[in-house]
Chain A
Amino acid sequence: MKAATRVRRFSDELPLLGAVLAALAAAVLLEAGNNFALNILATTFLMAGLATAWNVIGGFGGQFSLCHGVFFAEGAYLTANLVLHWGISPWLSLLPAALLGAATAFAISWPAFRLRGPFFAIATMTFSEVVYVLANYFDGVTGGSQGIRVPFRAGWINMIFPSRIAYAWIMLGFLLFCLAASLYLLRSRLGYYLQAVRDNEAAAQAAGIDVLRTKLWCFGISAGMTAIGGSLFMMYVRVVDPPTLLTLADVGVRFALIALIGGVGTGYGPLLGALLVVPLEAWLRAALSASLPGSNLVILGAVLILAALFFRQGLAGALTGLFARRRAAPA
């Protein structure tokens, strides 16, 4: 008779997390000196972290949010303003950015989470579009359509570095933070509440779970992580404008797409998705965009449709399926 399987805890996740971290760090070290590869790696880690953050509410929570671009933009604009107008180090802006993102998420949660399924997606999409317009409008804060620019002044305090490798490490750190937070949440009481709400909201409520509070907290956590990513992005590229931050296709949907391809609702899915999608997209953009404008988005759209139809479990699902079949030998 088999021993009862015990509930997985966060400490069970640590070995795999460590191994993943070591592998990614090795990749960074391997490419040290190759600025182009480091740029790709840094972008991949950043997108992986952001997709992981989206996955918290989108995958674990089952709430398809299209407004994560808003939190991303908040982080970027807040950091830019603190650095430019108040002379504060970007490192110190990370926590305020997270709080701002979380606060925004709380604010729109109350009306948004009253909405079932597709209405939530529409509401968040509309919210994102509104913020896009507002970002162009309030140019005192955001630099309007011209965007906002942080001048190059190298130094640790400024979070600006002449070489890419420091950014690769920073983004890896961000990814680690997001993965750890997401896995911790997954194995915590709040995480189990969230998944229960996703799987059957009525039953969860009947079991005594405070559905709104669960969604609210997880949305806030997801938003906070995304905002931090936005801050780091600001210091990485040093010039942003509303289209860069808030275009649905480039930002809001991209996080969701990466999570989908990697495996919505799994711990490492978003990372796998980013590892596949980001380098591939960079290649596609270089190879195709010159000849046909927007063709990389054509591919993105087609991939979205095909992934939704045929690849629902994502890479993570495919991989675990592979392992499960091998492990399913009779005892």
Chain B
Amino acid sequence: MVSFAGVLLAGLLLGGIYSLVAIGLNLIFGVIRVVNFAQGEFVMLGMYATVVAYTVLHTDPYLALVVVFPLLFVFGMAVQRFILQPLQNEPMMQIFATFGLLLLLQNVVLAITGGTSVSIQTPVSGLTVAAGPLQVSVARVVALVAVSVVAVGLQWGLRHTMAGKAVRAVAQDRRAARLMGIDVERTYMLTFGFGAGLAGVAGALLTPIFTLTPQIGGNFILAAFAVVVLGGLGSVWGAYIGGFLIGITEAFAGFYLDPALKQAIWFAIFILVLVVRPTGLFGLAGAEEMGLRVQE
């Protein structure tokens, strides 16, 4: 018999996953102001890279992080430099390009794996731990802890490191940042790389939880958009808390209504937020135009 607390817990853990995927998207969206439709595919690539590391090198997924992050960081930098930078002032072409990237990545992996789904069994994979009367999946708790660490780290990095300050400056006013001597293109590359790297980290952490198919990116991308909008464009805490809110809402809707309707939930939240409070919970007015805001 599933209790209220059980559903709440499931929602929290699910939310942790969504936050993990959304934090990278939020960074990219908030700073570079480009919609990266391919973010879900970066997660998918991270997952498959982890699987390869596991089967070939026998590394535990949580250790594979160390390799997956730089791999996707470099990939992200390349995407920004060669695909998005030439399209800087053409939002419609950016949408075409990132959507094309989505199709390309998804189907390259499909062609390579031949469409069979993959899952790996790590020491963590089926492990549950008792929390009172409920059984909790350890892998999901790890994901939740990880996203908290990432959020805190990112917030700190943005506020206290020179690179972070450069990122915020570029997000606030690109021209002024350039006049101050900040290399805007390099900052964009770093940001996109970081966003892609975070997606890869999310992928690595999620590998013990999911059965992988090339289409798995699609499961996350729409929820991630809903999270980013709900939390407020550009706000790290917004993405963090927004993920939990969406996860909890989805869990309850799935329990009381129908699990098949989760896309409708994301859409409803998305539209509701944009109509009622377009800046999201933690964004500031005009955040969608003004980019990243770190809570002072």
Contacts and interface: CB of A to CB of B under 8 A. Distances in A.
Contacts of A130: 263-264, 266-267
Contacts of A302: 100, 104
A122 B108 CA distance: 24
A121 B114 contact: no
A39 interface: no
Contact of B114 (A111, A136, A293, A305): A293
Interface in B81-114: 83, 86-87, 90-97, 99-108, 110-111, 114
Contact of A119 (B37, B110, B274): B274
Given A121-B35, A304-B99, A293 B263 contact: no
Interface in A84-138: 111-112, 114-119, 121-123, 125-127, 129-130, 132-134, 136-137
B53 interface: no
**Which of the four size classes fits the interface of chain A?**
35 or more
A293 B110 contact: yes
A239 interface: no
A133 B271 contact: no
A305 B83 contact: yes
B107 A304 contact: no
A134 B267 CA distance: 12
B274 A123 contact: yes
Contacts of A7: none
B75 to A, nearest CB: 14
Interface stretch (A152-160, A183-191, A307-315, A319-327): A307-315
A256 to B, nearest CB: 7
A109 B235 CA distance: 27
B185 interface: no
A309 B97 contact: yes
A295 B106 CA distance: 10
Given A125-B222, A308-B96, A297 B107 contact: yes
A328 interface: no
A292 interface: yes
Nearest to B93: A308
Interface in B45-96: 83, 86-87, 90-96
Nearest to B35: A118
B115 interface: yes
Contacts of A264: 92
A151 interface: no
A301 B229 contact: no
Interface in A18-73: 62, 64
* Majority secondary structure of chain B interface residues (helix, strand, loop or mixed): helix
A133 B106 contact: no
A206 interface: no
A294 B101 contact: no
* Majority secondary structure of chain A interface residues (helix, strand, loop or mixed): helix
Given A119-B274, A130-B267, A133-B261, A305 B97 contact: yes
A294 B107 contact: yes
A137 B260 contact: yes
Contact of A133 (B86, B97, B260): B260
B267 A293 contact: no
B270 interface: yes
Contacts of A292: 111
Interface string A280-303: 000000000000111101101111
Contacts of A80: none
B103 A300 contact: yes
Interface string B252-268: 00000010110110110
A296 to B, nearest CB: 8
B188 interface: no
Contacts of B114: 293
Contacts of B110: 293-294, 297
Contacts of B102: 301
Contact of A137 (B222, B261, B288): B261
A196 interface: no
A117 B94 CA distance: 11
Contacts of A301: 99-107
B244 interface: no
Interface string A136-167: 11000000000000000000000000000000
A303 B104 CA distance: 9
B289 interface: yes
Given A293-B110, A303-B100, A111 B93 contact: no
11 contacts: A119-B229, A126-B222, A126-B226, A292-B111, A293-B110, A294-B111, A298-B108, A300-B103, A302-B100, A308-B97, A309-B86
Interface of A: 62, 64, 111-112, 114-119, 121-123, 125-127, 129-130, 132-134, 136-137, 249, 253, 256-257, 260, 264, 292-295, 297-298, 300-305, 307-309, 312
What 7 pairs across the A-B complex have the smallest Cβ distances? A304-B100, A301-B103, A301-B104, A118-B35, A294-B107, A294-B110, A305-B100
